Chains A and B, each alone.
Chain A
Amino acid sequence: EIVLTQSPDFQSVTPKEKVTITCRASQSIGSSLHWYQQKPDQSPKLLIKYASQSISGVPSRFSGSGSGTDFTLTINSLEAEDAAAYYCHQSSSLPYTFGQGTKLEIK
């Protein structure tokens, strides 16, 4: 089973700050890595698919990069509404797996 390790687990940030969340896979997964945002008491929402492909309707301040084992989700100019948990997810090898999540708090 491929283990995805996110860092940090928690981050407290101020509006307009740039945020970087990383996801490291225990073995190479190519570009089969997706990012989700989950706000409290809501279902997850797809932000980025296949490492760097943007999703219609998602603000352009969200971007993704990486391949192989190391991936990054970047949020440029953070807004208050970005307070949420963020998860990476791999669909390269069964069983598919999620990272443990990163909780973003807005100061």
Chain B
Amino acid sequence: QVQLVQSGAEVKKPGASVKVSCKASGYTFTSYGISWVRQAPGQGLEWMGWISAYNGNTNYAQKLQGRVTMTTDTSTSTAYMELRSLRSDDTAVYYCARGAYSIDYWGQGTLVTVSS
């Protein structure tokens, strides 16, 4: 069965970076894109961007341009999302999910807390 398993919760100070991993199983990794979506506490879903697991092409939300990098390691079927220069309003649950368009499987989420 398709599974996306994310890395554990992180606590970071403002200005630091965080890298969240997302290990996929149960399907051919390079046949689907990976989207990243975040959700601030008590808020709605925010699209962050997506990466093609086939060729590494990326599209990022403009508000995150310059601070976010999405990558994949096809040898381990793992996707990564790095966010730099963290601010308090980056505190959120970060989800990886399969698909660039309709997103059919989601990871369990990774809570990233930014606090001094």
Q: Which residues of A contact B (CB under 8 A)?
A: 1, 32, 34, 36, 38, 43-46, 49-50, 55, 85, 87, 89, 91, 94-101
Of A43, A50, A96, A101, the contact of B107 (CB 8 Å cutoff): A43
**Closest residue of chain B to A91, judged by CB?**
B101
User: Inside 8 A of A89's CB, which chain B residues have their CB?
Assistant: 45, 47, 103
What string of 1s and 0s marks CB contacts (under 8 Å) between B37-58 and chain A? 1000000111101100000000
Q: How large is the interface on B (under 10, 10 to 19, 20 to 34, 35 or more residues)?
A: 20 to 34
Chain A facing B: main interface SS: loop
B116 interface residue per 8 A CB criterion? no
Q: Flag if A55 contacts B101 (CB, 8 Å).
A: no
Q: Which residues of B contact A (CB under 8 A)?
A: 35, 37, 44-47, 49-50, 59-62, 95, 97, 100-104, 106-109
Q: Flag if A98 contacts B44 (CB, 8 Å).
A: yes
CB distance from A83 to the nearest CB of B (A): 17
Give the distance in Å from the alpha carbon of A45 to the alpha carbon of B107 in the complex. 11
Give the distance in Å from the alpha carbon of A91 to the alpha carbon of B100 in the complex. 8
CB distance from B52 to the nearest CB of A (A): 13
User: Inside 8 A of B45's CB, which chain A residues have their CB?
Assistant: 36, 38, 44, 87, 89, 98, 101
Give the distance in Å from the alpha carbon of A98 to the alpha carbon of B49 in the complex. 12
Give the distance in Å from the alpha carbon of A32 to the alpha carbon of B104 in the complex. 14
Q: Flag if B102 contacts A46 (CB, 8 Å).
A: yes
Give the distance in Å from the alpha carbon of A98 to the alpha carbon of B107 in the complex. 18
CB distance from A40 to the nearest CB of B (A): 11
